[in-house]
Structure 1
């Protein structure tokens, strides 16, 4: 992606809105920060695709409805005439982050986006609503969490688009983050590792110009590049030697410490389905041989991806054992 001056300014104003929401101590300032980040991110979604404008309008409508619902719940909270304000605020934040059962808008608009804006929407934009959910810690999120894990893991099995696959994977990871909503430090570590893994995966897919599974079969890439993409997909699925497994390990350890064995069992079973569709992608890629290479790939980026996937997880385990 060519980062021009307009997108640079929009990125700065978007980060101002994100930081404003995270650092605010009242609901109206948080609402203002959400609106600033929303109005800054919408122009960044514009691409050369035909349905880009439609996706922008859909995103604006969904986020506006959620912001209006948050503002209404805040007003009710200040007046003090109803106890439904916490539920309304929780629903509005679940709509903003695209958690189940309000996840369909993510799949609708993600297909027309560039990978840079897609990474922003799946990571940075979701931090302010998660912060608001942490502040509104009286809400019970077990039903949307279980729905998110089951729906996203099952719905992705019949997908052929890589963007929709990553979208469902993001919905699944949001459900895992909501499990640790009361432990903000664990949730932040989870988000940072997930954002790093997703950035590595999207950078390789963008370089390879792959959008669907059948494009992996009919490709002429080198085996080293295929191995690189394979390792990153296994890391996203949570394969044990890689750093993606550290996120699943944190969630399972937290659930076991809280004596939530049923939820930990659901996490393990749905993680197997997530691993299944990532393994389907990787085997489709690795079981095809390439004959020629039409262009060169950035080898420094490839070595960096492989090194970070193999080295970061043992480093995190070592640092955890030191405490």
Structure 2
């Protein structure tokens, strides 16, 4: 995404809205923060594909407006005193904003026409406000959406050919893992930090290589280091040991075992195997395919590639140490 003064101002305003929602102690301020981030993010979705981006902007605005209206309606129910109705409506509004199943189709409809930098913002930064609100309401109606999100995202991820939709399904899967441990704030912060790092590295690679579909990974002329970099980061996204993604997933499963959610743990492990199968298949296919390379690629600086690979592998002991401390 090419930054000019307007986009820089919109990005700053969006971050102000996100921080305002996270730091607020009343519902109206939270709603205002989400609206500020919504209005600031919509112009950033504009791209060279005029018709497609306009359609995505309108769809995103309608969906987010519906969830914001439900949030305000739940605040009114809170003032009246209808506790059960308030909790159901508020939980549904946050599920729509996070894109959990069965309210996940809006992400798939708009993500195909967005640039990779906007996809990264949509799947990481803009998930922070609804996660913080979900943490504060501590709803009892999240178990079924979590199970549905785990099953649907893992199955649909195997059958995808678009990289953007694959990232969307992977985001739904990781979001359901995050929400399952919503009572543990330190675990949520660790999980979303590691997930954002992995997503940023993967999006950076796909944007550099200009890949939109999975079959483009198989046929490219990039160096072995670039392919090895994709391989390590894909294994980290899937939760393959000893990468960063495995550590956070293990911490979530450990927390679920502590509170005796054994059925949920079983579903997590089975669906994680599907996601691991998909990413491992992609990683090995990208490494094993024969390709031609240019001689001057040996002279390319590979410091950033080394850094991204080492982050995915060597940061696991550091995260485990932080878990022991906190």
Is the TM-score greater than 0.5?
yes
Give 1:190-205 correspondences, 5 Å limit: 190-205=191-206
Where does residue 32 of structure 1 map in the other structure?
Answer: 32
Contact 2:91 2:139 (C-alpha < 8 Å) held by counterparts: no
Q: What CA distance in whole angstroms lies between the structure 1 residues aligned with 2:85 and 2:2?
A: 46
After superposition, the Cα gap between the structure-2 partners of 1:298 and 1:161, relative to the gap in structure 1 and judged at 3 Å, is: farther
| Alpha-carbon distance change, 190 to 234 in structure 1, aligned in 2, over 3 angstroms | same
Q: Which runs of 4+ in 1 moved over 4 A?
A: 294-298
Residue 100 of structure 1, CA deviation: 0.9
1:158-237 aligned within 5 A? 158-237=159-238
How far residue 251 of structure 1 moved from its aligned partner, in angstroms, is 0.7
Paired residue for 2:140?
139
Map 1:255-266; keep pairs closer than 5 Å. Answer: 255-266=256-267
- 1:303 matched to 2:306: yes
State the TM-score, normalized to the length of structure 2.
0.95
Judging changes above 3 Å, is the alpha-carbon distance between structure 1 residues 294 and 168 closer, same or farther for their aligned structure 2 residues?
A: farther
How far 1:36 moved relative to its partner? Answer: 0.4
Relative to structure 1, the CA distance from residue 23 to residue 321 in structure 2 (aligned partners, 3 Å threshold; closer, same or farther) is closer
Tell me if 1:314 matches 2:325.
Answer: no
CA-CA distance at 1:17 after TM superposition: 0.6
Once the two structures are superposed, residues 108-157 of structure 1 have per-residue CA deviations (whole angstroms, 9 ceiling, x without a partner) of 11111111111111111111111111111143200000000000000111
1:107 aligns with 2:118: no
CA displacement 1:276-321 (0-9 Å, x = unmatched): 1111211221121221239856522211101111110122224434
The structure-2 alpha-carbon separation of the partners of 1:81 and 1:245, relative to structure 1 and needing over 3 Å to count, comes to closer
Q: CA deviation at 1:242?
A: 0.7
2:214 and 2:156 map into 1 onto residues whose CA distance is 16
The residue aligned with 2:14 is 14
Return 5+ residue gaps in structure 2 as ranges.
none
Instruction: List runs of 5+ in structure 1 lacking aligned partners.
Output: none
Distance in 2, Cα, partners of 1:111 & 1:294: 35
Q: Judge conservation of contact 2:242–2:316 (CA < 8 Å) in 1.
A: yes
Deviation at 1:213, TM superposition (A): 1.6
Contact 1:97/1:126, CA 8 A, preserved across alignment:
yes
1:44 corresponds in structure 2 to 44
Conservation of the 8 A alpha-carbon contact between 2:56 and 2:113:
yes
Quickly say closer, same or farther: Cα 1:311–1:67, change in 2 above 3 A: same
- Conservation of the 8 A alpha-carbon contact between 1:119 and 1:198: yes
TM-score by length of 1: 0.96
User: Would you say how many aligned residue pairs link Structure 1 and Structure 2?
Assistant: 323
Counterpart-to-counterpart distance in 2, 1:180 and 1:256: 11
Render the CA deviation track for 1:174-195: whole Å, top value 9, x for unaligned: 1001101111221111001100
Give the stretch that moved more between structures: 279-288 or 153-162. Answer: 279-288
